Structure 1
Amino acid sequence: MNRRLTIAAALLIMAGCSAPPPPPPPAPPPGPKATLGQWGVDFTGMDRSVKPGDDFYMFVNGKWQKDAVIPADRSSTGSFQTLAILSEKRMKEIVAELEAKPVDKLSPEEKKLRDLYDGFTDTKAIEARGLEPVKADLAMIGKLKTLKDVARVMGSPRLAAGSIFGLGIGVDDKDSSKYSVNLTPEGLGLPDRDFYLLDEAGIVKVREAYKAYLGTMLSLTGAKDADARAAKVMALETGIAKLRWSLAQQRDPEKMYHPVAFKDLRKLAPAFPWDAFFSETEIPLNKGARVVIVGENSAVGPIAKLFAKTPVGVWRDYLTIHYLHSYAAVLPQKIDDADFAFYGTALAGRTAQTERATRGVRLLDRTLGEAFGKLYVAKYFPPEAKAKVEKLVSNLLKAYEADIKTLPWMSEATRQKALDKIHAFTPHLGYPDVWRDYAALEISRDDLVGNMKRASMFEWHHDVARLDQAVDRNEWHMTPPTVNAYYNPSFNSITFPAAILQPPFFDPNADDAVNYGAIGVVIGHEISHGFDDQGSKYNGAGNMENWWTDTDLTNFQARTKMLTDQYSAFEPLPGLHVRGDATLGENIADLAGLSISYKAYHIALGGQAAPVLDGFTGDQRFFMGLAQVWQSKFREGELRSRILSDVHSPAAFRVIGSTRNVDAWYEAFDVKPGDKYYLPPDQRVKLW
């Protein structure tokens, strides 16, 4: 979700970039130097032998791509990983400060952070305890006798033993003032159903490794005939995969919204013991009247039938394996290593496990995220950084408003609804205004597995307790140290944690063109999710409602179909193409975010011409900032997994696919017919 670039010769550097720009205004006097280069872009990563129109990603990042080395404990490297590593380093610095404090000087939250971290990193104690902390749970799973017993364990929020149905509390898609109980088929240990169903050579190899992993995990519990039993679990998960919806189908919120009163779940799927499944959830069922929003509804009945005909013994093995996977990181090394051997190495290609200290701070971020985030923000996110980002967001929203007002393909009726949505839009930047209270969460230095269970129940009780209360529209779903961002359609809001608001995404000392091409496009991307093929199904209040005229919707869908076809032609791995239908929402947001941020950049110029810096015009720096931000190199296994299970296109194609649809990019780099990624004007997709 972005970046910057520079050069020092003008025409020489821009091989294939044709005529020089008109006489430039004088460059401003040098100010504070940007983190990357003088003004926000690092020239050393470029490959100037590549024409921008042949591969703009490689023009900006080609040398970096060739030279970059993926760390042994990572499945990729690039902008996001660089910031993630920086965030982890900073979190470890915070932990070191906590460790140095006398116990009586720690606040209650700080003591919980330190105790959880110390318990996780005390591997000698973990080895000494062995499987004793999970012995009772494993014994209970091993003694399950009926399908009702199995369903009860699947529904238990305390156990995290795996389930064919996922259960959660969310915001009702059709009434954003209310929380809802949501139920969706799950049940797979591999990232997506296609890992079970496709015969591409790399996928087959992963499948074989997974089958071996299932046997290994069973054998670690002392199971006899582990491989034969693992084969039955594999066959069971393959059966579930055949019934699950595709990733593209799961993206459609209208199709995923199927409200059913709890008492009517028996009609939808009579073969499954729903009372047993809900028995430990503490969800008030209101005598069966509680509405459950069911996703993949046509798959629920068939999966229930598969459940009913599968022997309890197979389910015991299934639950045992998934239970051990859930707790692998806090169990003895033989369990942790076996889990990593598949999920880290066979699936993602990593050759080394991440060191325990880094995994420890990640655990704090997941478990006590806002308590940890509070310390992170105080140390690493100054108020002036937030103020500059707020100004940039303001300009982006102005650009969106101006764009909507002038769209030639949109009718006045739809236009007004779109403007209403922009006016109701809410940005959340850096950190929450109100922090979570962790007083009710018990953390013990010497009870690591218990900490995991109590943390899980703490979150579950937090959700269930407010089920019938007013929705908290200011709640965050990412922590401040997270290098990511998101759009929430129910709240019509974007959230940008502090950790992503730094170079190469955002640098207060960088050239405005680079910041708009980098964090501006990323912010524009998230705003644009409100107007992608699925986000556009929600109104300004966050309710799923069609606010389009039939003609406008037909026009919009015709344009997005062109985008689907463009991306489906990209082939990141031999025989594996980008899934244009599954990635459509992100591709729309990439293109719209780029288009809107470009307009916002020109709004920020206030009618003045941008200076030429090191031979690059403002527009060129803008697009280079975009390409630099998506610098990414993946291990083959990780790339394959993303192609099959991620709704985002691979990074290089996010740059190529969006820029080739923007007229200003052609003008900035003099891209001509005959260049590989040239699109004739009538084939360029124009949305927002």
Structure 2
Amino acid sequence: MKQLTFAAGTTSDDNKSSRLQDDFYGAINADWLKTAKIPADRPATGGFQDLVENIEQNLMADFAAMQAGKQQPDNPMLGEFLKYYALAADFKQRDQQGAAPLQPYLERIAALDDLADWQAGLKDWMLAGLPVPFDLDVDADMKNAKINALFAGPPSLFLPDKTYYAPDNPSGPQLLQVFQQMMQQLLEMAGYDSAATQLILERAIAFDQSLAPHVKSAEESADYSKMYNPQSFTEFTAHSSQIDFSRLIPELIGAQPEKIIVTQPKFFAAFDEIVTAANFDQLKSWLIVNTVRSMAGYLSNDFREISGRYGRALSGSKEAMKPQKSAYYLATSQFNQVVGDYYGHKYFGATAKADVHKMVVKMISVYKNRLQQNDWLSASTRKQAIVKLDNLGIQVGYPDQIKPLFKQFKVNAAVSLLDNALHFAHITMVDHFSKWNQPVERNEWEMSANTVNAYYHPFRNIIVFPAAILQAPFYSLQQSSSANYGGIGAVIAHEISHAFDNNGALFDEFGNLHNWWTDEDSTHFKALAQTMIAEFNGIPFAGSQVNGKLTVSENIADAGGLSCALEAAKGETDVDLTTFFTNWATIWRTKAQPEYQQLLLSIDVHAPAKLRANVQVQNFADFYSTFAVQPGDDMYLAPEKRVSIW
């Protein structure tokens, strides 16, 4: 196929030609690309990021007015949030406390002589959300999605992905050096002398590197079906002769489970080689490094600023956030649904919620019609696809009620910010593990209303559209129907399409991992998915290339979403396809630091924003007729090479 080549790896996005027939995204966003500046404390700017910044400014102003007594919080939970926000923003006190709030946890690690010592307090350690070399989680059973099951997986690595540990990846050693320098400073600030710090880092990095060969890469993790590997309790607990999982798990969930769903069997098969009595000193150092790193953001401003250096090296952000802004994000992340409820009611409201809900229902109707007219699905598979669509759950704007968990968050102003955060972590973890073997709360919101995003949950078969994304340029009552369909309409249909992408298609109407396809349809669908992989795979970008396999699910959803939204737009009396395609390119406008682009190419399941805008439109005949794109133009793709799935 003809591949697009862009000015990759730049932040200026200069284009040799502004002809939309050669670079649609570049031409539509030309003026914006010339003037847009990436904020020093962010890795990128653009359509999504602009909304984030506007929400941030509005909410920070509102909360300042509340703290000044000019505005009253409308519920007790918001009052507790304001107390926590004030504690987070009190950098005078945080600076005076320095590393003191951290010391009890470091002393606890220092007191450990062996794995038996650690095992004795492991339950409480985990309930505080502190680091462990494995992960236990509760989520819907992938083959009985009405009941919550226990999942087990590996911990996070120091580097962003296991591919960074490969000998031929030059970024790995460079990033590891930045990580070491950051942790050297943090550990010395925490009270360790230079020699002790060097030894701790050597041991911690050695332990981290022992994990890497046994975990999945981002590309491997993108296949959801490979996550489901149920093991009996006896089978799972036998993975370690050092960690008493047979004791720990019942302590956490209150009973002995019949099965544990292992997301990465290879990791647990090697677990007894990773966590051993012989390498306890390495594990102990790994605990120290991860504890200091995870808690640094709750300490003094120096700790906060230095602890972000590795992240800024990854993203290319030039500066740390200002202290007050960092306090806002720290506090809102803890009280996310409380803040989301306030935002949703004040800045979105019931009228807009009802209007967008109608739009979602309409898009589902359009999608259903397209499924009924589909010419490659058999009758039986088509019938089951429509059943799944008919059972699709819809969440728009904000939840009707804040999760009861937040009523338990009571701020103690007499103790440190870190102590409050760990108390809340304990409450959250206890609540989370209590959900094991309980009915799945399908309508529970997992994303706050002030989050600029949307998602599909395959285990629950629901689509979620928080209030924050439901504004211009994505959606506005002041925009034409074609603009709205090119924006939020395509986003809505994108999330619907996830129910039928290469991952979503594996789950039925209840969210169960269950094959509802005929063999012939499944084979044909996989072949179509392969054409989408091929369309994106290897496109040069940011000095590297797009991984078509990593991004295939999102690309299938983009294609299905744009196709469905296009059909809906054409059904309106005021249809204007120039406006439709223009807004599609507008919502993806992005200017990002090269480091951030490189990181996303390695780990993000989404294709670069510019390619999402440009490559997808090449698959639609209406694009060519609307903008007079002809053979020889860079945006032209021969009809036989265009990809169409949904």
Shorter-chain TM-score tier: over 0.9
User: Contact 1:50/1:58 (CA < 8 Å) preserved in 2?
Assistant: yes
The match for 1:503 among 444, 462, 472 is 472
1:362 maps onto 2:333 in alignment = no
Supply the AA of the counterpart residue of 1:191.
Answer: P
**CA distance in structure 2 between the aligned counterparts of 1:48 and 1:215, rounded to whole angstroms:** 45
**CA distance in structure 2 between the aligned counterparts of 1:309 and 1:561, rounded to whole angstroms:** 47
Identify which range, 521-530 or 458-467, moves more after superposition: 458-467
**CA distance in structure 2 between the aligned counterparts of 1:72 and 1:200, rounded to whole angstroms:** 28
Any idea what the Cα deviations from partners look like across 1:17-52, whole Å, max 9, x if unmatched? Answer: xxxxxxxxxxxxxxxxxxxxxxxxxxxx99895233
**CA distance in structure 2 between the aligned counterparts of 1:151 and 1:76, rounded to whole angstroms:** 43
Any idea what the Cα deviations from partners look like across 1:429-475, whole Å, max 9, x if unmatched? Answer: 00012222222222122431121112212221222223232221110
User: Contact 2:219/2:603 (CA < 8 Å) preserved in 1?
Assistant: no
User: Contact 2:233/2:259 (CA < 8 Å) preserved in 1?
Assistant: yes
Query: Structure 1 residues 299 and 527 mapped into 2: Cα distance closer, same or farther (>3 Å)?
Result: same
Query: Structure 1 residues 422 and 196 mapped into 2: Cα distance closer, same or farther (>3 Å)?
Result: same
* Mapping of residues 53-68 of structure 1, within 5 Å: 53-68=21-36
Query: Structure 1 residues 570 and 104 mapped into 2: Cα distance closer, same or farther (>3 Å)?
Result: closer
Query: Structure 1 residues 278 and 51 mapped into 2: Cα distance closer, same or farther (>3 Å)?
Result: farther
* Mapping of residues 475-490 of structure 1, within 5 Å: 475-490=444-459
**CA distance in structure 1 between the aligned counterparts of 2:329 and 2:120, rounded to whole angstroms:** 31
5+ residue gaps, structure 1, are: 1-44, 611-617
The match for 1:676 among 626, 629, 634 is 634
1:385 maps onto 2:385 in alignment = no
**CA distance in structure 2 between the aligned counterparts of 1:335 and 1:316, rounded to whole angstroms:** 22
Offset of residue 202 of structure 1: 4.2
Query: Structure 1 residues 630 and 143 mapped into 2: Cα distance closer, same or farther (>3 Å)?
Result: same
1:118 maps onto 2:89 in alignment = no
Aligned to 2:144: 175
Supply the AA of the counterpart residue of 2:64.
Answer: A
1:270 maps onto 2:270 in alignment = no
Any idea what the Cα deviations from partners look like across 1:474-518, whole Å, max 9, x if unmatched? Answer: 101111111111111122111111111111111110011111001
Offset of residue 378 of structure 1: 2.4
Query: Structure 1 residues 672 and 323 mapped into 2: Cα distance closer, same or farther (>3 Å)?
Result: same
Offset of residue 595 of structure 1: 0.5
Any idea what the Cα deviations from partners look like across 1:134-156, whole Å, max 9, x if unmatched? Answer: 21111011222223444667763
The match for 2:505 among 536, 547, 553 is 536
Query: Structure 1 residues 509 and 242 mapped into 2: Cα distance closer, same or farther (>3 Å)?
Result: same
**CA distance in structure 1 between the aligned counterparts of 2:545 and 2:613, rounded to whole angstroms:** 16
Supply the AA of the counterpart residue of 1:361.
Answer: Y
Any idea what the Cα deviations from partners look like across 1:565-611, whole Å, max 9, x if unmatched? Answer: 1211212122x2111111111111111111111112123x1xx363x
Q: SS in structure 1 opposite 2:545?
A: coil
Q: SS in structure 1 opposite 2:626?
A: helix
The match for 2:252 among 279, 282, 287 is 282
User: Contact 1:666/1:672 (CA < 8 Å) preserved in 2?
Assistant: yes
Supply the AA of the counterpart residue of 1:598.
Answer: L
User: Contact 2:66/2:72 (CA < 8 Å) preserved in 1?
Assistant: no
Query: Structure 1 residues 151 and 495 mapped into 2: Cα distance closer, same or farther (>3 Å)?
Result: farther
Aligned to 1:456: 425
Taking structure 2 as the reference length, the TM-score comes to 0.92
Q: SS in structure 2 opposite 1:176?
A: strand
Aligned to 1:25: none
Supply the AA of the counterpart residue of 2:472.
Answer: P
Aligned to 1:686: 644
Offset of residue 413 of structure 1: 0.8
Query: Structure 1 residues 372 and 568 mapped into 2: Cα distance closer, same or farther (>3 Å)?
Result: same
Q: SS in structure 2 opposite 1:467?
A: coil
User: Contact 1:154/1:164 (CA < 8 Å) preserved in 2?
Assistant: no
User: Contact 2:138/2:435 (CA < 8 Å) preserved in 1?
Assistant: no
Offset of residue 228 of structure 1: 4.4
**CA distance in structure 2 between the aligned counterparts of 1:130 and 1:248, rounded to whole angstroms:** 41
Offset of residue 199 of structure 1: 3.7
Aligned to 1:240: 211
**CA distance in structure 2 between the aligned counterparts of 1:624 and 1:309, rounded to whole angstroms:** 61
Aligned to 1:325: 293
Q: SS in structure 2 opposite 1:86?
A: helix
Offset of residue 190 of structure 1: 2.3
Query: Structure 1 residues 304 and 500 mapped into 2: Cα distance closer, same or farther (>3 Å)?
Result: farther
Offset of residue 544 of structure 1: 1.0
Aligned to 1:89: 57
Offset of residue 95 of structure 1: 1.1
Taking structure 1 as the reference length, the TM-score comes to 0.87
* Mapping of residues 58-207 of structure 1, within 5 Å: 58-101=26-69, 107-150=75-118, 156-197=125-166, 199-207=168-176
Q: SS in structure 1 opposite 2:615?
A: helix
Offset of residue 394 of structure 1: 2.1
User: Contact 1:349/1:637 (CA < 8 Å) preserved in 2?
Assistant: yes
* Mapping of residues 473-622 of structure 1, within 5 Å: 473-574=442-543, 576-603=544-571, 605=572, 608=573, 610=575, 618-622=576-580
State the Cα RMSD in Å: 2.3
The match for 2:341 among 356, 365, 374 is 374
Query: Structure 1 residues 166 and 105 mapped into 2: Cα distance closer, same or farther (>3 Å)?
Result: closer
User: Contact 1:94/1:376 (CA < 8 Å) preserved in 2?
Assistant: no
The match for 2:621 among 648, 656, 663 is 663
Offset of residue 132 of structure 1: 1.9
Aligned to 1:227: 198
Offset of residue 370 of structure 1: 2.0
**CA distance in structure 2 between the aligned counterparts of 1:469 and 1:279, rounded to whole angstroms:** 16
Offset of residue 272 of structure 1: 4.8
**CA distance in structure 2 between the aligned counterparts of 1:235 and 1:110, rounded to whole angstroms:** 44
Supply the AA of the counterpart residue of 2:487.
Answer: A
**CA distance in structure 2 between the aligned counterparts of 1:201 and 1:565, rounded to whole angstroms:** 26
Query: Structure 1 residues 168 and 402 mapped into 2: Cα distance closer, same or farther (>3 Å)?
Result: same
Supply the AA of the counterpart residue of 2:86.
Answer: D
Aligned to 1:315: 283
Aligned to 2:6: none
* Mapping of residues 634-645 of structure 1, within 5 Å: 634-645=592-603
Q: Between Structure 1 and Structure 2, how many residues are aligned?
A: 629
Any idea what the Cα deviations from partners look like across 1:386-422, whole Å, max 9, x if unmatched? Answer: 2331232122111111111111111101100011111
Offset of residue 363 of structure 1: 2.5
1:404 maps onto 2:374 in alignment = no
User: Contact 1:217/1:321 (CA < 8 Å) preserved in 2?
Assistant: no
Supply the AA of the counterpart residue of 1:668.
Answer: T
Query: Structure 1 residues 220 and 97 mapped into 2: Cα distance closer, same or farther (>3 Å)?
Result: same
Identify which range, 295-304 or 645-654, moves more after superposition: 295-304
Q: SS in structure 2 opposite 1:141?
A: helix
Aligned to 1:19: none
User: Contact 2:343/2:449 (CA < 8 Å) preserved in 1?
Assistant: yes
Query: Structure 1 residues 107 and 424 mapped into 2: Cα distance closer, same or farther (>3 Å)?
Result: closer
1:467 maps onto 2:436 in alignment = yes
Query: Structure 1 residues 277 and 217 mapped into 2: Cα distance closer, same or farther (>3 Å)?
Result: farther
Aligned to 1:305: 273
Supply the AA of the counterpart residue of 2:255.
Answer: L
Q: SS in structure 2 opposite 1:308?
A: coil
**CA distance in structure 2 between the aligned counterparts of 1:660 and 1:523, rounded to whole angstroms:** 21
User: Contact 2:122/2:248 (CA < 8 Å) preserved in 1?
Assistant: no
User: Contact 1:160/1:323 (CA < 8 Å) preserved in 2?
Assistant: no
**CA distance in structure 1 between the aligned counterparts of 2:633 and 2:72, rounded to whole angstroms:** 67
Offset of residue 82 of structure 1: 0.6
Aligned to 2:315: 348
Offset of residue 107 of structure 1: 4.3
**CA distance in structure 1 between the aligned counterparts of 2:363 and 2:189, rounded to whole angstroms:** 55
Supply the AA of the counterpart residue of 1:179.
Answer: N
Q: SS in structure 2 opposite 1:180?
A: strand
